[in-house]
Amino acid sequence: MTDSALSPSPTTQPFARSILDNIARVLVGKEGVSGLALAGVLAGGHVLLEDAPGTGKTMLARALAISLGLTFTRVQFTPDLLPGDVTGVSVYRPASGTFEFVPGPIFTGVLLADEINRATPKTQSALLEAMGEGQVTESGVTHMLEQPFVVIATQNPIENEGTYRLPEAQLDRFLLRLSVGYPTLEEEVRMLSRLQGQHPIYALESVAAPADLLTARREVQAIHVSEDLRRYMASLAAGTRTHSAVALGGGPRASLALQGVAQALAWMEQRGYVTPDDVQRAAPGVLAHRLSLRIEARLQGLPAEEVVREVLRSEPVPVESVQPEPVAAQ
Amino acid sequence: MSWRAYGLALLPLAAAGWLPWWATALLCVLFGLAVRWPRWEEGRLLLSLLIVGGAAVALAPAALAQGRTALVGLALHYLALFFVVIALNWSANRITDGLRRSRGALFVPLLIGLLAPQPGLLLALVGGLLAIPGRDERMGRRPEQPTPRVWWVVGAALAALLVFSVLLPRQAVNWAALGEPSPPASNVQTAPPPNQLPPPDLGQTPSAPTSPGLELPFQFTIENVFLPVDAILLGGLLLLVAGGGLLFRFRPQDGRKPRLIEMLMVAGLLLTGALWLAAGVLLSGGGGGGAAGAAQTVGPGAGNALGQLLSNIIGRRQIDISGFMRALLWLSLVMLFALAAALLWLNFTQAREKEGDGKVSPGLKAEAPAPAQPALHRVRLAYRQAEELLRQHGRGRLAAETPAGYAARLSALDAVLAGPLDTLTRAYGPVRYGGRVTDEDAAQAEAAAHELAGMLPDLPPPHDPSEDAPDSLSKKENP
């Protein structure tokens, strides 16, 4: 998928367009990934940004959070970070003789978990309940998070020193995994020009309110998905499970995620229905990080995205003359 | 669109022997409009019923002046007209479908015309033959769809209802006295003998009432026709309810004003329901609850010389058509129930879908899924045929290719295809995946498909499309 495939166009929904334009002020030439990240947020999910250092992951996350007008907290994940540092802890108050819960930085609208794979699995797992159920349980007491709640995490896939690979259960909680990618030469030149003075992120202002996002989410959920496309999406998820290079494929949660992101993409284009193009645009970001590849495939350096692309190429699209097969055998 | 398609406007001439001339002319105009504009095609049946109902109402004052016999005759005549109109519409649909059995559909107007022969029948048949699309003109017409399961359920329910209505206990009715005004209850035994109905005289002189002002183009009385009057009344009520539902749905809301055609369709429904109710009351013989009948053989209108001549030719065989008319009226009753059930079902499903769309923002409401309509099939068929044509010219779609991706690839190969492909794909997406369809989309899609069909023979053969595919798995074209 190219960036231009998701660039704001005259048909882009005004709410989405204003946010994407806002992000474009600080991030040059990344309309595609910005659009997908916004789609993930609109679908009610969390987004994992994965790429090499200096590609603009944190900048994208910050710009998205500011644009949405949500309360924003950034946590730098480090090996010595404890779960309580994220979720909050109960502190003993000698004066009253009671424990009082002090909320952690997770009690926010947008949590930027920077370099999430630098924290230990124990701390990473502290996010599971919050991301999955929108709540935090501490000392047997459940505290609800504010809504909307979005986790945007970043990680560097290249560096292994001092990092802890995210477990599958944690990865599955992310609706999308996106790669920002390096800019082209022209884009980099434009970026140098734009960022010569003060970084525009400091002047960035929100263009929406939390209520707008909640309204948009409700509308996204009402976008029509035809029965054929549902079958197509389920076949894609099933295709990842039966692929020869995959040890563990996408589960039903992957199908649900695919439907949600496709609906959000349709909504962003002001369409009341999902098309196969929406599904195909969403599929790599939704499915790839949920796949656990076989050791042979890993040794060959086969990226999970390529597996998803193979599944996309093998699964018939429901068009007029095509009756989709239940599952395409690999 | 070919000029021959307008031959369909002549089809109602087959029923000229059944209707006043002005009603026949209106039907011709309506059928012509339906050829030109799909919205009129959708409303053709209900508008035809409106015209026929209007004709019956126009004849009512004269019948009223003649007494009960004439009124009963008019009621029977209207019930038969109901069947005639539905049969004509069915025939028109079959003809315009362009399917293999289109010519067979011409037997319907032929039969209708032979029952009341007149010279217009020949014109109607010629028009029908002209309107049958040729092999290359079928694009954009509706394909045959498998019968949805729900219609089996509706059909079974209707059949059960009819059987139930037949089994209801009913009172014996003295049909010979049908034409007489009901005497007071105390004087029933001493009532004067009823007027005798005219004897059967098929092919000789028409049995129409002779008083001036009422000249039914086609009159009949039938011996011992058994009609479930309760079912007729029920059907009329159902139709009124369906009309009320449509009226509610077409009410002005969200800044949208009801269209004239929608109002006419509702009027057609309500008038038909009212006339069925009236016919049911008349045939019940003043509330006896039984079935109706009267005796008869049939003759054409007195003023129709050629029709009378034809009728005389046929009439010399002295065919008793009582059984046939009985079947005809039963059939029209079944059709009434089917029509009422279809409209009620439509109201129900659309209301449900509207509820489902309620959460979508106003901007999206216009694109929200709509129930399947005939135009939906036109777009899909146009796309299917265009894709098939492209495949035959070596430009087939890859199995894993989306319509937009396919259009983009072909447009890159042959820029001349870009315009019609873009039009076709834009019309196809909402119909195929969103359930949304407009007449304009359908017409544009058909035009684009025609344009593609015209372009393809002039294009050079492309290189193997599979060469563009990055993976062997995607090289398989659609069957």
| pLDDT score, position A279 | 92
Res B216 pLDDT > 90? no
Alpha carbon distance B127, B114 (integer Å): 16
- Listed range (B26-40, B95-109, B210-224) with the worst mean pLDDT: B210-224
| pLDDT score, position B167 | 59
Residues 6+ positions from B274 with CB-CB distance below 8 Å: B53, B236, B240
Helices A304-314 and A276-287: crossing angle in degrees, nearest 10, is: 150
Contact B20, B147 (CB under 8 A): no
- Listed range (A9-13, B243-247, B336-340) with the worst mean pLDDT: A9-13
Residues of A in contact with B399 (CB under 8 A): 316-317, 322
- Listed range (A45-54, A204-213, B445-454, B465-474) with the worst mean pLDDT: B465-474
Determine the average pLDDT of the residues in A292-311: 85
pTM for this predicted structure = 0.51
Kind and range of the H or E run holding A135: strand A135-138
Which of A150-154, A293-297, B393-397, B463-467 shows the highest mean pLDDT? A150-154
| pLDDT score, position B182 | 43
Determine the average pLDDT of the residues in B445-472: 65
Residues of B in contact with A229 (CB under 8 A): 433
- Between A93 and B455, whose confidence is greater? A93
The secondary structure of A74-112 as a DSSP string is EEE--TT--HHHHHEEEEEETTTTEEEEEE-TTSSSEEE
Determine the average pLDDT of the residues in B11-21: 85
Residues 6+ positions from B152 with CB-CB distance below 8 Å: none
- Listed range (A252-266, B154-168, B227-241, B308-322) with the worst mean pLDDT: B308-322
Residue A330: closest C-alpha in chain B: B473
Q: Which two tokens stand for residue B192?
A: 């004067």
Determine the average pLDDT of the residues in B237-241: 82
| pLDDT score, position B467 | 52
Separation in Å, CA of B397 to nearest CA in chain A: 10
| pLDDT score, position A227 | 86
- Beta-bridge mates of residue A302: none
| pLDDT score, position A261 | 92
| B400 closest CB neighbour out of A222, A273, A312 | A312
Residues of A in contact with B368 (CB under 8 A): 224, 272
- Between B347 and B473, whose confidence is greater? B347
Residues of B in contact with A224 (CB under 8 A): 368-369, 433-435
- Between B479 and B101, whose confidence is greater? B101
pLDDT in tens, B332-362: 777 777 777 777 777 666 666 555 443 433 4
Report H helices in B322-393.
Answer: 322-356, 362-365, 374-392
- Between A59 and B364, whose confidence is greater? A59
| pLDDT score, position B181 | 45
- Between B419 and B102, whose confidence is greater? B419
Residues of B in contact with A273 (CB under 8 A): 367, 369, 429-430, 433-436
Determine the average pLDDT of the residues in A80-84: 87
- Between A322 and B442, whose confidence is greater? B442
Res A291 pLDDT > 80? yes
Please give the distance of CA B154 from its chain centroid, rounded to a whole number: 18
- Listed range (A311-320, B42-51, B140-149, B263-272) with the worst mean pLDDT: B140-149
| pLDDT score, position B358 | 39
- Listed range (A98-112, A182-196, A208-222, A269-283) with the worst mean pLDDT: A182-196
Long-range contacts of A120-124 (CB under 8 A, 24+ apart): A120/A79, A120/A81, A120/A164, A121/A164, A121/A167, A122/A82, A122/A83, A123/A77, A123/A81, A123/A82, A123/A83, A123/A85, A123/A86, A124/A77, A124/A164, A124/A166, A124/A167, A124/A170
| pLDDT score, position B38 | 72
pLDDT in tens, B180-200: 444 443 333 333 344 434 443
B367 and chain A in contact, CB less than 8 A: yes
Domains and CATH numbers, chain A: 1-220 (3.40.50.300), 222-323 (1.10.8.80)
pLDDT in tens, A159-171: 667 788 888 888 8
Q: Share the mean pLDDT of chain B.
A: 67
Alpha carbon distance A152, B368 (integer Å): 32
Res B316 pLDDT > 50? no
Contact B90, B274 (CB under 8 A): no
Separation in Å, CA of A62 to nearest CA in chain B: 28
Residue A279: closest C-alpha in chain B: B402
Determine the average pLDDT of the residues in B219-245: 69
Interface list for chain A against chain B, based on CB atoms closer than 8 Å? 215, 218-219, 221-224, 226, 228-229, 267, 270-277, 280, 310, 312-317, 319-322
Interface size, chain A vs chain B, as Cβ–Cβ contacts under 8 Å = 105
| pLDDT score, position A264 | 92
Interchain contact, B430 vs A273, CB within 8 Å:
yes
| pLDDT score, position B232 | 76
B204: exposed, middle or buried (Cβ count in 10 Å: 0-12, 13-18, 19+): middle
pLDDT in tens, B60-87: 888 888 777 777 778 878 888 888 888 8
% pLDDT > 90, chain B: 0
Interchain contact, A275 vs B433, CB within 8 Å:
yes
B97 and chain A in contact, CB less than 8 A: no
Interchain contact, B478 vs A226, CB within 8 Å:
no
